Structure 1
């Protein structure tokens, strides 16, 4: 197997490190069951493909994906959590027996949509908790299954193009992020910010669905992107205040020692993470001029707030 995996690496890298990679792989997998061997092979294949795509750990693209990693997980969990929340609210409001509803909802494409949403939510939660070896594959598999089912369902789940495309983009961002960048992002405390963002998206929406807030019936899809933008702004502020810690851009900063973040990387991370939530918002707001105006205002504010937060963090230093 290792000989086939080595062919995935760029030729120059394979000549320089192929023998070492093969020896390490054989040593680590000797006597191991099939499951762990396949997992190690998948990680090795991912490493090779990232190098072919120019996503080595020290590249600017890899640093941007590392900044986006917690936000993409948060957006994935929030988007699929909203799907599950809407489904549960519909089940709770329906007079039909629970068993009848479950048999209907869990069959065919709708069953795939619900189960894939659950898989994404659980996988993203696990990844944010630090268990990315299991969490990222679950999240990616759920996103791809959701995208396939959403295309198959047609307009029944909103736009059959924008939503699936956003799910595929999120899956690609998670797969493209090098493992050391994932660990670095979580060690920097951004997992907590992402987790709070997921809660701030879902809890108010659950309260609205339960009619616990009588003067609000809908947010027109604008609340989740606003929360994600706030999480990016908080991250930019913290990174700006904390500054860089290593040379070559390997820290959370801008790439020079002690300069702190200017917010550009966090803004790029927000742009990569937000399409999942924006696709939902566009479906809800489409055709309503007021909702579209509010959504446009939210996006404009986010474009200004994230770099401003980075500059304020730098000034605070």
Structure 2
């Protein structure tokens, strides 16, 4: 099996480092169980695919995905949490008994719970375990949406955006995994995106109109805040925000944002607008430094 995995590497890289990778794998495989060997082979395969696609830590694409990964995980946490909150609000409002059956809605609920738990685990404790759980949940969400999308999403948009989010998170180079600061910022973003929507479902807000824009606005604001804090032009932060927003775009699409012209334009423009604001703030900062005193 390891021979097939090594063939995933680009030919030049395989010629230079293939024997070394094989020797390290064989030494590690002799000391671990079959599950450990499978995990090592999976890690090598993931690294090979990243090398072939040019998303290693030495490339601009890899560094971009490293920026986007914690934001994508935070978006997944908010997205899964919103589904759980909506289910719980329905349970509280329903006079009938609560029970789960083997149907698409129960599959959505389980997938949302896996997404939420995996995302929280990745941002607070163990990135590798959390990402694995999150990926399984997103795959389950995609399958459930295909089977019965109109019940809670769209059978094309929802699974596409879920799988895109999983790819963004999985493509993050292992040596550029987000640190505590990036994870904390993503967690704050997720909480800010989730809490008002949950309050709306619970009837605790004075307004009841929701066109799905709030989570996307929060994500765009998080990218803007990062660019202002790092005093950068905002290009990298805008690109990372765009890579992290698929689930929030799916939420906006399935909750009515694109049924009306103004919310639709807002959905399409909010991320690049945040980038433009960041670029403008950077330009003003540079002009202020260069102006004579």
**TM surpasses 0.5:** yes
**Which residue of 2 is the match for residue 20 of structure 1?**
20
Tell me if the contact between 1:112 and 1:145 (Cα under 8 Å) persists in the aligned partners: yes
Distance (Å, rounded) in 2 between the aligned partners of 1:5 and 1:297:
42
- Superposed CA RMSD: 2.2
The structure 2 residue matched to 1:227, chosen from 191, 215, 218, is 218
Distance (Å, rounded) in 2 between the aligned partners of 1:308 and 1:225:
21
Distance (Å, rounded) in 2 between the aligned partners of 1:33 and 1:190:
34
The structure 2 residue matched to 1:216, chosen from 207, 212, 216, is 207
The structure 1 residue matched to 2:259, chosen from 281, 284, 287, is 287
**Which residue of 2 is the match for residue 135 of structure 1?**
130
Tell me if the contact between 1:159 and 1:283 (Cα under 8 Å) persists in the aligned partners: yes
With 281-290 and 190-199 compared, the bigger mean Cα shift is at: 281-290
TM-score by length of 1: 0.83
Query: What is the CA distance between 1:304 and its match in structure 2?
Result: 2.5
Relative distance call for 1:148 and 1:238 in structure 2 (3 A) is same
Show structure 2 runs of 5+ residues with no match: none
Q: Secondary structure at the match of 1:28?
A: helix
Relative distance call for 1:23 and 1:293 in structure 2 (3 A) is closer
Q: Deviations over 1:53-90 (max 9, x none)?
A: 12222011101111111111111111111111111111
**Which residue of 2 is the match for residue 119 of structure 1?**
114
Show structure 1 runs of 5+ residues with no match: 241-260
**Which residue of 2 is the match for residue 81 of structure 1?**
81
**Aligned length, in residue pairs:** 288
Q: Deviations over 1:112-144 (max 9, x none)?
A: 211111111111111112512111121112112
Tell me if the contact between 1:267 and 1:307 (Cα under 8 Å) persists in the aligned partners: no
Relative distance call for 1:161 and 1:193 in structure 2 (3 A) is same
**Which residue of 1 is the match for residue 183 of structure 2?**
191
With 285-294 and 133-142 compared, the bigger mean Cα shift is at: 285-294
Query: What is the CA distance between 1:288 and its match in structure 2?
Result: 3.3
Distance (Å, rounded) in 1 between the aligned partners of 2:129 and 2:212:
30
**Structure 1 segment 66-215 matched on structure 2, within 5 A:** 66-98=66-98, 102-104=99-101, 107-182=102-177, 185-187=178-180, 189-213=181-205, 215=206
The structure 2 residue matched to 1:304, chosen from 276, 281, 285, is 276
Tell me if the contact between 2:100 and 2:106 (Cα under 8 Å) persists in the aligned partners: no
Tell me if the contact between 2:237 and 2:275 (Cα under 8 Å) persists in the aligned partners: no
Relative distance call for 1:235 and 1:312 in structure 2 (3 A) is farther
Query: What is the CA distance between 1:270 and its match in structure 2?
Result: 1.0
Query: What is the CA distance between 1:103 and its match in structure 2?
Result: 2.3
Relative distance call for 1:278 and 1:120 in structure 2 (3 A) is same
Tell me if the contact between 2:238 and 2:272 (Cα under 8 Å) persists in the aligned partners: no
Q: Secondary structure at the match of 1:58?
A: coil
Query: What is the CA distance between 1:226 and its match in structure 2?
Result: 0.7
Distance (Å, rounded) in 2 between the aligned partners of 1:193 and 1:316:
29
